[in-house]
Amino acid sequence: MQALRLALADLRRDWALSLCQVFALAAVLTPLLVLAGLRHGVLGQLMDELRHNPSMREIAPRVTGANRFTAAWLDAARARPDVAFAAGDARFTAASVQAVALDAAGQDAGRAPVVLTLVPTGPGDPLRPPDAAWAEGAASVVLSAQAAKDLGASAGQRIALRIPRLRAGASDGRDLAVTVASVLPQERMEDRRAALASEQLVLWVQQFRDGLAVPQLGWPGAPPPAGPPSYERFRLYARDIADVAPLVAWLAAQGIEPVSRIGDIAPVLALDRGLTVVLLIVAGFAAAGLVVAVAATQWNGVQRKRREFALLALIGYGRGFMIRMALLEALLLGVGGVAVALVGFALAARAVDQVFAQLQRLAGPACALDGTDLAASAGLTLALTLLASGFAAWQIGRIEPAETLRDA
């Protein structure tokens, strides 16, 4: 406590110089906080929006009619660490069916049929909301919000899928009654009339429309080919938006022309990397400048107060005590600088938020840092301040009282 009281008294005596050091620290820290706040605010929200939007991670092959994707190929894709989900898909024409809502008795409810696209799904589908019921086997499907609206159907209701087929010049279609397991949120598959069904059901529908039999459902036709099935398309989702580019390159190397949102993702990722590099460079120069400025100021203070330290040593204060006092002074100056910087950051963040207020896509503040980031910044600043003052403290330990007083 005695060292703290003397440190406070010394700072009060040189209050003008102390304030200059406090504001010098704040001038270094505040711009860094604002720059980091912009990265976490504006850019952070854009990154979160991309990461939480499954369509940004979706990759599909461009339809050429020449591609065939076997079950082994899909298993190899699922085994990749950068793939979150993969499923074989049917041709566009084969996946188009009509659907009608059924009443409680299982009869046509009388609404106009709606054309839906069957979309294969399975475990781990990124479109699946947490804890939502999902499509299984041939008994249930999941409807997009637009499809549910047009059908007038909701979760738990029965609908009939009408699968058309011409065979020997005559209509030979079949109806399949299924339960709506759930309805997707509006933002997922927005404006699409789609029914997510199991990968197996989508394959069966394509085989049936190709004139093949589906014994599992009792649908007649030519015998299905032996061996594992193959698909003309697939649904594939990267695990993260940063994985889209490697997956696109992987597919292109196999002669597959992928369709993705990489054009929307790449600029944001480049901006994130660029801003991170800029932040690190500025932080590096700022840290070096802070250490040099604090070390020079503290060293100069020790030189000015050599006589006072010599007197303290003569009246019984040990070198360890004087070193602690010098470090406490540096710590108090650092705390003051951090406090002023936090106030400056709060004011700057408010001004930045007002500038970006017209951007409707921002769901939160444009410039913001959480408590962890602020605490880390404050801790690092104080650590650098103590490190820089260590040289001055070492100089105190080298003061010889008798020699210093004789020279004075």
DSSP 9-44: HHHHHTHHHHHHHHHHHHHHHHHHHHHHHHIIIIIH
Give the residue carrying structure tokens 């896509």: 361
| Residue 239 belongs to a domain | no
Instruction: Indicate if 288 and 397 belong to the same structural domain.
Output: yes
Q: Residue 228: which region, alpha, beta or left (left: phi > 0; alpha: psi -120 to 50)? A: beta
Instruction: Indicate if 180 and 276 belong to the same structural domain.
Output: no
pLDDT (0 to 100) of residue 80: 95
* Owning domain of residue 165: 90-233
Among 207, 233, 259, the domain-final residue is 233
Domain count, the chain: 2
Mean of pLDDT values over 204-230: 89
Tokens of 4: 């703290």
Among residues 364, 357, 273, which one has the least CA distance to residue 48?
364
pLDDT (0 to 100) of residue 339: 92
Instruction: Indicate if 351 and 226 belong to the same structural domain.
Output: no
Instruction: Indicate if 209 and 288 belong to the same structural domain.
Output: no
| Residue 383 belongs to a domain | yes
How many Å apart are CA 377 and CA 185, to the nearest integer?
39
| Residue 262 belongs to a domain | no
Instruction: Indicate if 129 and 211 belong to the same structural domain.
Output: yes
pLDDT (0 to 100) of residue 344: 92
pLDDT (0 to 100) of residue 176: 93
Instruction: Indicate if 124 and 222 belong to the same structural domain.
Output: yes
pLDDT band at 312 (very low <50, low <70, confident <90, very high): low
| Residue 66 belongs to a domain | no
| Residue 241 belongs to a domain | no
Question: Between the CA of residue 42 and those of 110, 134, 356, 360, what are the distances in Å?
Answer: 50, 35, 9, 12
Q: What number of CA atoms fall less than 13 Å from residue 131's CA on the CB side?
A: 0
| Residue 22 belongs to a domain | yes
| Residue 253 belongs to a domain | no
Instruction: Indicate if 102 and 228 belong to the same structural domain.
Output: yes
Q: Which residue has the higher pLDDT, 295 or 141?
A: 141
pLDDT band at 217 (very low <50, low <70, confident <90, very high): very high
pLDDT band at 355 (very low <50, low <70, confident <90, very high): confident
Mean of pLDDT values over 333-361: 83
pLDDT (0 to 100) of residue 316: 55
Instruction: Indicate if 102 and 227 belong to the same structural domain.
Output: yes
| 265-290 confidence digits (pLDDT tens) | 888 888 888 888 888 888 888 888 87
How many Å apart are CA 70 and CA 230, to the nearest integer?
4
Query: What are the residues facing 98 on neighbouring strands?
Result: 115, 162
Among 191, 211, 233, the domain-final residue is 233
Mean of pLDDT values over 378-383: 86
Mean of pLDDT values over 123-132: 89
Instruction: Indicate if 115 and 180 belong to the same structural domain.
Output: yes
Instruction: Indicate if 272 and 402 belong to the same structural domain.
Output: yes
Instruction: Indicate if 155 and 276 belong to the same structural domain.
Output: no
Percent of the chain with pLDDT over 90: 32
Mean of pLDDT values over 66-91: 90
Give the residue carrying structure tokens 């024409």: 93
Q: Is 321 helix (H, G, I), strand (E, B) or coil?
A: helix
Mean of pLDDT values over 192-201: 93
How many Å apart are CA 379 and CA 253, to the nearest integer?
48
| 19-35 confidence digits (pLDDT tens) | 888 888 888 888 888 88
Q: Residue 85: which region, alpha, beta or left (left: phi > 0; alpha: psi -120 to 50)? A: beta
Mean of pLDDT values over 220-238: 88
Query: What are the residues facing 222 on neighbouring strands?
Result: 212
Among residues 7, 122, 116, 120, which one has the least CA distance to residue 60?
120
Q: What is the mean pLDDT of the chain?
A: 83
Among 209, 233, 257, the domain-final residue is 233
Q: How many CB atoms lie within 10 A of CB 229?
A: 16
pLDDT (0 to 100) of residue 399: 59
* 398 pLDDT more than 60: no
Instruction: Indicate if 145 and 33 belong to the same structural domain.
Output: no
Q: Are 61 and 234 in contact (CB under 8 A)?
A: yes
Q: What is the pTM of this model?
A: 0.75
| Cα distance from N-terminal residue to C-terminal residue, the chain | 30
| Residue 84 belongs to a domain | no
DSSP E strands in 102-218: the ranges are 114-121, 140-143, 158-163, 166-167, 170-171, 174-183, 194-198
